[in-house]
Structure 1
Amino acid sequence: MKKSLLFVAAMFAAVCANAQGTWNAVPSTAAVDDVVVPAGTPTEVATSEIQNAKVVLVDGGANWTVKSDPTAAETFVVDGKTFSKAYIQGGTNGVDGSLDKAGSTSAHVEFTPAVAGKVYVAAKYGKNKKIWTAKVPQSVIDAEELDYADMSAYATNVWGQYITADGGLNAEQTVTDADVYAALAYDVEPGNTYFFWVSGSKIMLCGLAFDTNGAGISNAVAEKANVNAPIYNLAGQRVNANFKGIAIQNGKKFVNVK
């Protein structure tokens, strides 16, 4: 009986893992200057729209507010995902390779996936601004060892680059006449939190999307993981070795019947 229930649980988890989610940052009922996230308060957003991940907006020095009228905003489409051009923005500029702006935490997005996939960060990207993403292991966050002043130890391939006219990235600035609406996509893995920010500005954030790259039953590996590695449940929460059910360790799902 237990094995049957576990198989059903694995099937259900696989269906959930295949779910896709798209979140537009500005509600249709919002007005310009509405506060979305208060200053200094890390706030989880997109809880209904984005499955299998936690999205947190942070600004240590100022509010995240609505900066454009959603009723008048056009839309743009990237990889079949539709985003509004209405956006929200923090008040504290990002810094090259750092999240510390004169003692305050810069406006940024924190994305923590429970399964592997691809995240899309949709925004109005300034033509003169650099884009940064840091990949920080959960063990570093749990140990409170993360130094916001220097994030270079966690640099990804989205590190200090400029937006291109077609929404790609380039080490040199190529766009000179206008800002670009784009949804930058990069791969993410469980057991990490991804920090995304723009230097010399605040993120003009339109929304996010998350694809799970077809993660499903084929990824539900029924084997015992390395007991020395952290274990997480499907909500991305760290659990101990006595946890029963579908768990994630070393980026792989398994059924723990211990």
Structure 2
Amino acid sequence: MKKIFTLVAVALAAISANAQDYYAAATYDADGNVVMANEFQNAVIDTQNGKSVVTINLNNVTMTAVGGTTPSVIDKDANVSEWNTIEWKTGNQGDIEFPYINGTGNPYVKLTAEEIVTDGVPTGNYRPAYEYYEPDGSKGLPVSGLYYEFNAKAEGTLVLGVWINKGNRKLFVVDKETQKALTPNVDYTLGGYENGVNKEDGSKEYNMSIPTKGTEGDDLYIWGYKGGSQAIWGWLQIPMKANQTYMVFLHSAQLGLSDVEFEAGTSGVSEITSSEINADAPIYNLAGQRVSKNAKGILIQNGKKFIRR
């Protein structure tokens, strides 16, 4: 079954070959082990600045993934003399064939230092303190820690396979120019799976559009039917303007990345008529599983994506 994911990746890459880009950050090998893409395996670690930057140039979109870490030794002026380990690693939601990569570090806007106090007595030693992004952009954008940037040459739709291990952390998609967060389920959507949301037979339930916890404030950026208490894995679908940069990250946790797909000239996944589908061809979902002909959601058949509601 794990080989199906690779087959679907090939099928996705073949759709509208002149307009579509596809990149898998992690895949399965023949033995079912998760393997990260070469770019992340060979990522350069900047130990002086505590970060690692990986750039992926596709035909129509460029992705920059920034991983960071936390200071090991810091002084009162927030000067770092030693950083903890920076790394890229793999993860696997194996029951639905969802491999992903993950970097280290919370995506902070500003690094400061606070003195360690023991039993009310200042020790003269310091530890890191952080300021994090606010959705109105008032505190600025992340400068280190794990975040992703995407810039497209043409207008189109970006689809990201993402793993949210801590469902109670806010997920932001940000217009880098305005520094403001986009509105979930208005400017972009998230479809996929939430831990604990199952069908009657106990298998995972795929949802076309996962809701956010609430409609305003912090709750607007926390996803899930269970109010953000569970892990979520699925696909962010983000309409992009040409020559505009978007950032994607969690507030104070690490966002796993499975794959990247960009289709120029679209504003979303469009439906195709039944006449365009060979009814006898196998059908797969976006997780790479072969599904029944009655399955619903975003499906792939004959190398084409379509929606069945």
The Cα shift of 1:123 comes to: 1.2
Residue 114 (1) aligns with residue 165 (2): no
CA contact (8 A) 1:110 1:195 kept: yes
CA contact (8 A) 2:155 2:266 kept: no
Residue 198 (1) aligns with residue 221 (2): no
Aligned pair in 2 of structure 1 residues 85, 153: CA closer, same or farther (>3 Å)? same
Q: 2:91 aligns with which of 65, 68, 73?
A: 68
Unaligned runs of 5+ in 2: 1-15, 46-50, 70-84, 108-131, 135-139, 195-206, 268-309
Distance 1:64 1:207 in 2: 19
Distance 1:114 1:162 in 2: 22
The Cα shift of 1:36 comes to: 5.6
Q: Deviations 1:186-235 (Å, cap 9, x if unpaired)?
A: 111122111110122101111111122359xxxxxxxxxxxxxxxxxxxx
Distance 2:238 2:163 in 1: 17
1:44 — aligned with what? 55
- Match of 2:104, SS state, is coil
Higher normalized contact order (CA 8 Å, seq sep 6+, divided by chain length): 1
CA contact (8 A) 1:93 1:200 kept: yes
- Match of 1:51, SS state, is coil
Unaligned runs of 5+ in 1: 1-15, 76-83, 138-151, 216-258
CA contact (8 A) 1:17 1:52 kept: no
The Cα shift of 1:168 comes to: 2.8
Q: Deviations 1:9-64 (Å, cap 9, x if unpaired)?
A: xxxxxxx99521222211445658x846344232212x4xx431111111233645
CA contact (8 A) 1:89 1:202 kept: yes
- Match of 2:253, SS state, is coil
1:226 — aligned with what? none
Q: Deviations 1:81-105 (Å, cap 9, x if unpaired)?
A: xxx51111111113443654xxx61
Root mean square deviation, CA, Å: 3.6
Q: 2:172 aligns with which of 132, 145, 150?
A: 132
The Cα shift of 1:157 comes to: 1.9
AA aligned to 2:161 is A
Distance 1:162 1:120 in 2: 10
Q: How does 1:158-177 map onto structure 2 within 5 Å?
A: 158=184, 165=194, 166=207, 167-170=209-212, 171=214, 172=219, 173=222, 174-175=225-226
CA contact (8 A) 2:156 2:263 kept: yes
The Cα shift of 1:109 comes to: 0.8
CA contact (8 A) 2:91 2:102 kept: no
Aligned pair in 2 of structure 1 residues 25, 66: CA closer, same or farther (>3 Å)? same
The Cα shift of 1:136 comes to: 2.3
Q: 1:89 aligns with which of 89, 97, 102?
A: 102
Equivalent pairs: percent with the same residue?
14
Q: How many matched pairs?
A: 169
CA contact (8 A) 1:121 1:184 kept: yes
CA contact (8 A) 2:157 2:239 kept: yes
TM-score (norm 1): 0.54
Q: Deviations 1:146-194 (Å, cap 9, x if unpaired)?
A: xxxxxx74322249x9978435341335325631211011111122111
AA aligned to 1:58 is V
Distance 1:27 1:162 in 2: 24
CA contact (8 A) 2:68 2:106 kept: no
Q: How does 1:147-186 map onto structure 2 within 5 Å?
A: 153-158=179-184, 165=194, 166=207, 167-170=209-212, 171=214, 172=219, 173=222, 174-175=225-226, 178-186=230-238
Q: How does 1:233-252 map onto structure 2 within 5 Å?
A: none
TM-score (norm 2): 0.46
